[in-house]
Amino acid sequence: MSDLPAIDALDTAVYTVPTDTPEADGTLAWDRTTLVLVTARSGHTTGLGYTYAPAATAHLVQELLTGTVTGRPALDVPRANEEMLRAVRNAGLPGVAAQAISAVDIALWDLKSRLLGLPLVHLLGAARDAVPVYGSGGFTTYDAERQDRQLRHWTHESGIPRVKIKIGESWGRRTERDLARVDRARATIGDGAELYVDANGAYTGGQARRLAGPLADAGVTWFEEPVSCDHLTILADLRHRLPMDVTAGEYGYTLPYFAQLITAGAVDCLQADATRCGGITGWLRAAALAHAHGIDISGHCAPSAHAHAAAAVPGLRHLEWFHDHVRIERLLFDGVLDPGGGSITPGADGAPGLGLTLAEERAEPYRVE
Ligand SMILES: [Mg+2]
């Protein structure tokens, strides 16, 4: 057994990429996005993982995780994951530490697949060939022309029959503009495409109830975080009253969090983010938890990190083809899949691991650490 490969080293790099135009949702505005990259090495083989998080995440990897995982068996990712969870006990898991663990876990799954010469989906075992995606953007900062152009690109040019826009502008103080943007989005995409909205927790329960009628009239079938998911009782009440699916889960860092969201009856479809909830290891467990309760799972953001895991679970709804992250992943990596027709097929090209390689020359100008 002693000749099994070990994890020899972890390295980190931090990239900050400006947005193409200022972006905002109901409760946050940003003009740049930071990606923390982790490279895990065993002998001459390397795997990569990443998360969208502050640079402090890379510092946490160096300070608390590198010494924890180096020397451990490279094939035993759940063991490394468990040791990392223990190592951050005093730092506190939710937030930066969970994102650091997630990036390392993803890098370790990529490394293991590459050591075995397999696409990650075949290492995990496929449950499907095609992974549906939905176009996600529609920022509140967009003017009508910009929103039209983006939605037309997804539905008309790429053939993606599902799109999502942000509502809840200015913490729910611009509801007339929200509804006008939704109506315009429906007009742009036509009746044949699904229309989703995401309020990022901007509304009160009452606002969300009053808006549900007009949103349903526009054919909205997915209402994401109508209120903050800190308010499970209100979210569960909305889920039972509203005609469209109520969804949440992107701020889930632990499995018990997802269990609470599900058992409160708060969501019709669980969202989980592998770059936050413990990597591929954590995301697969979240998917199993949702499946056990009869609800679907949808991958939140970072689509290239989720693609292979998504193809390995039976209860998958779709992945979020998030404008900001797709731009960054295409810039920093080679091997990002093509969502033409509305789905991607991870592993179809036979490339090992996640199928991604760092495009070092393109990435270097954006490296900040
Ligand atoms: Mg969201």
In tens, the pLDDT along 271-295 reads: 999 999 999 999 999 999 999 999 9
Beta-strand runs (E) in the chain: 9-24, 29-42, 45-52, 131-137, 162-166, 194-198, 220-224, 245-248, 269-272, 296-299, 316-322, 333-334, 343-344, 357-358
Q: At residue 230, what is the residue type? A: D
CA of 300 to the centre of ligand 1 (A): 7
Q: Could you give the angle at the alpha carbon of 144 between the alpha carbons of 213 and 202, nearest 5°?
A: 45
pLDDT of residue 2: 61
DSSP category for residue 160: -
Please list all protein residues whose beta carbon sits less than 5 angstroms from ligand 1, which is an ion. Answer: 198, 224, 250
CA of 346 to the centre of ligand 1 (A): 24
Cα distances from 326 to residues 130, 137, 321, 336, in angstroms, run 18, 11, 7, 8
Q: Could you give the angle at the alpha carbon of 264 between the alpha carbons of 263 and 270, nearest 5°?
A: 70
CA of 230 to the centre of ligand 1 (A): 14
Q: Could you give the angle at the alpha carbon of 172 between the alpha carbons of 166 and 174, nearest 5°?
A: 85
Domains of the chain, CATH where assigned? 9-117+359-366 (3.30.390.10), 122-358 (3.20.20.120)
Cβ-based neighbour number of residue 179 at 10 Å:
17
d(CA 249, CA 297): 10
Banded model confidence at residue 3, pLDDT cuts 50, 70, 90: confident
Q: Considering Cα of 64, then 68, then 71, then 76, what sign does the dihedral take?
A: negative
Query: Would you call 249 helix, strand, or coil by DSSP?
Result: coil
What does the pLDDT look like over 167-195, one tens digit per residue?
999 999 999 999 999 999 999 999 999 99
d(CA 317, CA 313): 10
CA of 25 to the centre of ligand 1 (A): 9
Average pLDDT, the chain: 98
What does the pLDDT look like over 318-360, one tens digit per residue?
999 999 999 999 999 999 999 999 999 999 999 999 999 999 9
Banded model confidence at residue 211, pLDDT cuts 50, 70, 90: very high
